[in-house]
Structure 1
Amino acid sequence: MKDLAQITVNKVMTRSLKIVDIDTSFEEVVKTFNETKVHALIVVGPGGEFMGILSHSDIIKGLQEYGPKIFVLTAEDLMHPKPFTIDPNANLKEAAAIMVKNRIHRLLVISSHAGKYIPIGVLSATDIIKAVANT
């Protein structure tokens, strides 16, 4: 078995991101979740800059907190604005440590371009397990 420190995030991350604009309506967010079968959406602002992440858990929390008023909200109102992120060149040992320490299941992979943070992938616990299984 290969050491997790020898495998970089960019080798195993999921590259096909499902992205919504910050002003996407709640109804459109739900529709996107249903059509894409993903568990998290990346929320971007003008120019594609990363603003936050919106997961199934955020939707459930929003339904509890806002009830029927949730239908007037946008992705910005429901997203988690400061999710845990990781550099694509970090290794899986570092990624796993962040996940365990913070009791989370995914990290947003961010690249910096011209002072803006651009989402380029998502690394999930499942991605790490698959990497271990395939080594």
Structure 2
Amino acid sequence: MTLPPSFDPARALTLAQETLSIEAQAVTAVAQRLDASFARAIELVLGIPGRVVVMGMGKSGHIGRKIAATLASTGTPAMFVHPAEASHGDLGMITSADMVLGISNSGESEELTAILPLIKRMGVPLLAITGRPDSTLGRHANVVLDASVDKEACPHNLAPTASTTAQLALGDALAVALLDARGFKADDFARSHPGGALGRKLLTHVSDVMRSGDEAPRVGLDAGLMELMREISAKGLGMTAIVDSGERVVGIFTDGDLRRLIEKTGSGADLRTLVARDVMHPQPRTVRPDALAVEAAGLMEADRITSVLVVDGAGRLQGALNSNDLMRAKVI
């Protein structure tokens, strides 16, 4: 690959640092300008029964799509409608129960300003994020959030850079304030992100990943050592529960326990006379079926074990799981 002769690594680094500095200053300036209008914007959103319809052209449109996605994933129903498409039928996607969030640095984007009178005629509230509060967009809006910047990070002061960063930051500020006002919690976020890592951690319960029924290893208190070994081998969890006649867990025996038992008694000892009650560990660590799978993972890590038994409120065996089960479920 041939690099252009004008490329200067040192200058590239300097420009990158200047860009980040300019954009950071722009966001700081926006934060310092925030006033009671921001609270009114939150009240405006909370007061509608419908959705936030985000609109913007060009780079502001790309920012608008991200803002709509962030709102929707944090408890505020939202969608993006392209202003140009709105003029050709998509305006029908907006109902009187909705509100519009219009985004434009200049506040004069033709495709957006052309539909503002129609939005107003519908009685739909309008929230504006603009770099010019006195623009057409600003004058039509019920509430204006000032996203103006002193300059763009672009060396020619042309490409939207600092201005779009300011828009994006204001959108995030709206989303955070709204999720707080709605009492939106981590498990609410997980429900809207079931395919993500957080969703799996907050939505996957032990009952979803445990082995139950005949797959859960168990023997009685009077089971012989050979039966213990067969159950451990058959179920593939490296251990078996010891249960009483009521299926209540009273102990556990692992393949590690077997190795230690052989080392302790010596090869000449007759282990066939031993039964489960003689070799088990009483009162093993257990989890409930309704516990989060990530809690089971934490228990295993804290106790340095690879398997755990699952019991109900009365201590009856419901199932078992190991670290491989949690890895397959992508909990760990």
Alignment TM-score, normalising by the size of structure 1: 0.85
2:319 corresponds to: 121
Deviations 1:19-48 (A, max 9, x none): 2111111133234444x1522111111222
Matched, 1:110 2:311: yes
Seq. identity, %: 27
Matched, 1:130 2:328: yes
Structure that is richer in strand per residue:
1
Deviations 1:46-98 (A, max 9, x none): 22221111111111111112231422211111112122111111112211111
Matched, 1:49 2:260: no
C-alpha RMSD of the superposition: 1.7
Greater length-normalized contact order (CA 8 Å, ≥ 6 residues apart)? 1
1:21 corresponds to: 220
Unaligned runs of 5+ in 1: none
2:293 corresponds to: 92
Moved over 3 A (4+): 31-34
Supply the distance in 1 between the matched residues of 2:295 and 2:231 (Cα, whole angstroms).
Answer: 31
Greater gyration radius? 2
Supply the distance in 2 between the matched residues of 1:51 and 1:71 (Cα, whole angstroms).
Answer: 21
Supply the distance in 1 between the matched residues of 2:301 and 2:321 (Cα, whole angstroms).
Answer: 13
Supply the distance in 1 between the matched residues of 2:296 and 2:227 (Cα, whole angstroms).
Answer: 31
SS at match of 1:127: helix
Unaligned runs of 5+ in 2: 1-195
Supply the distance in 1 between the matched residues of 2:298 and 2:231 (Cα, whole angstroms).
Answer: 31
Q: 1:87 to 1:31 in 2, by over 3 A?
A: closer
Supply the distance in 2 between the matched residues of 1:123 and 1:62 (Cα, whole angstroms).
Answer: 24
